Amino acid sequence: SPGGQGGEEEEWEQVGKGNRSAVTRGQVSAQGGTSHVSAVFGGALRSEVRTPRSRPSATKQHFTVLHLDIYPNSVDSVDAALVLHTSPETISGYRAEGSAIETDATKRVQLLELPQVLVLHLMRFTYGAAGTGKLHKPVSFGPTLRLKASMLADGCTNVRGGNAAYDLIGVVQHHGRTPAGGHYTADVRCGGPGGEWMHFNDDRVATVDEAEVLQGNAYLLFYSRVAN
């Protein structure tokens, strides 16, 4: 199951703006609690499918990493990748549960629960009939990430006073031409906001300017929630 959390399925009706309701399904943890990993990195998405003649159907999906598609030419920044990830998309030949009729549907994924640390995976590795490859395109990112209201689902549970801002605390880069080769380095900010950045390359550790960190071709980004 998404986010690695197993358990029984639960179902409930959620009423959003304009008194529009949707049937929402999710997973109930079999352990009745959360792990240390999910307590820090765990969030949830709301995936909603709408068809012309049926009630909207929504699924709650837990995650610890958000996988962002950066392949389209329009995606040149993390913000653009998040906009793409949370924008409506059309599904052709969709068949609603209990129906034998295929129709066009609209699917949209939005953030429902925000994690303390948001991990973004920029999908640079490609896999296809021609083999594996890597996208070397630059994707800009900043020291602060502010999630737009359009990225958040109705009823997003832990947006404190409308605050959905994050500070960059870590960057992982992959160095190499293909997924099969190369190695990884990490830049980590120490000491909280305004702290010093450290560059880790195998057993070599050195300080690094934030400006240089922001110029890297990131593979993973770690953002920490800004406290009110």
Structural contact between residues 213 and 220, judged by C-beta atoms closer than 8 angstroms = no
Structural contact between residues 139 and 77, judged by C-beta atoms closer than 8 angstroms = yes
Q: What angle do CA 193, 194, 198 make, to 5 degrees?
A: 100
115-134: b or e for each residue (b if 16 or more CB lie within 10 Å)?
Answer: bebbbbbbebeeeeeeeeeb
Q: Write the Ramachandran bin of 202: left for phi over 0, alpha for psi from -120 to 50, otherwise beta.
A: left
Pairing of strands 21-29, 7-15: antiparallel
Q: What is the pLDDT of residues 65-100, one digit of tens each?
A: 999 999 999 999 999 999 999 999 998 888 777 777
Domain boundaries, the chain: 2-225
Structural contact between residues 78 and 120, judged by C-beta atoms closer than 8 angstroms = yes
Instruction: Calculate the average pLDDT of the chain.
Output: 85
Superfamily of domain 2-225: Cysteine proteinases (3.90.70.10)
Q: What is the pLDDT of residues 129-182, one digit of tens each?
A: 878 899 999 999 999 999 999 999 988 877 766 669 999 999 999 999 888 889
Q: How far from chain centre, in Å, is Cα 170? A: 16
143 or 20, which is more confident = 143
pLDDT at 25: 53
* Separation CA 216–CA 174 (nearest Å): 10
Structural contact between residues 78 and 66, judged by C-beta atoms closer than 8 angstroms = no
